[in-house]
Chains A and B, each alone.
Chain A
Amino acid sequence: EPEVTQTPSHQVTQMGQEVILRCVPISNHLYFYWYRQILGQKVEFLVSFYNNEISEKSEIFDDQFSVERPDGSNFTLKIRSTKLEDSAMYFCASRQDRGHEQYFGPGTRLTVT
């Protein structure tokens, strides 16, 4: 069964450093998402991406964040200058064009020290 994959599973970085979180969505899906879950808090929407552009972003997704689909398979989230409060589990998800459900990857745990 096709699945969403994410790498790395755990990333430790120092404050101020850039990180890139990688995702490979399911191959025939057209909508892509990033969510994050700070420890002990709810899952929060960050951004959605369709047709090679951001279709919606939350107020969390400020200028420090960017997303890219550099080729036909990868979908990346970049944080330019990490802050302590960026420490969270980051989930990538994808959805078919007409489907309702989003399929999630296993997540990347980002720890900013």
Chain B
Amino acid sequence: AQSVTQLDSHVSVSEGTPVLLRCNYSSSYSPSLFWYVQHPNKGLQLLLKYTSAATLVKGINGFEAEFKKSETSFHLTKPSAHMSDAAEYFCVVSDNAGNNRKLIWGLGTSLAVNP
């Protein structure tokens, strides 16, 4: 069965400093992995996805993530945080057994960006 563990429930960084949001996954199949972002009172927006192509994936707003099979990790990074990055971030794995591909979600990491 697939599962996702986000290792930090809250991360606080200063504007202009790097961001690291950690995610480990468990999957019986070759996984598809995603990061979604949710700004306050907004919907869920796809940041980036890994679907068995390049292991370093670039997303929107300067975010990227690296798929490391040996570590079963898919950590999200950004070189320099911006105030507008403050949001809830979800690491997600797709259940690729069959065509349904339901998404299995981590608990989320709340990112705070301090001026």
Question: Which residues of chain A have a CB within 8 Å of any CB of chain B?
Answer: 31, 33, 35, 41-45, 48, 50, 55-56, 91, 93, 95, 100-107
Of B100, B101, B108, the residue contacting A100 (CB under 8 A) is B101
Q: Count the B residues whose beta carbon is within 8 Å of the partner chain — how many?
A: 23
B18 CB to nearest chain A CB (Å): 26
Q: Chain B, 41-64, contact with A by CB distance < 8 Å: what is the 0/1 string?
A: 011111001010000000000000
Q: Is the interface of A mostly helix, strand, loop or mixed?
A: strand
Check B101–A104 contact: CB distance below 8 A.
no
Check A44–B102 contact: CB distance below 8 A.
no
CB-defined contacts of A31 to chain B, threshold 8 Å: 99-101
CB-defined contacts of A102 to chain B, threshold 8 Å: 101, 103
Known contacts A45-B102, A55-B100; A101/B46 CB under 8 A: yes
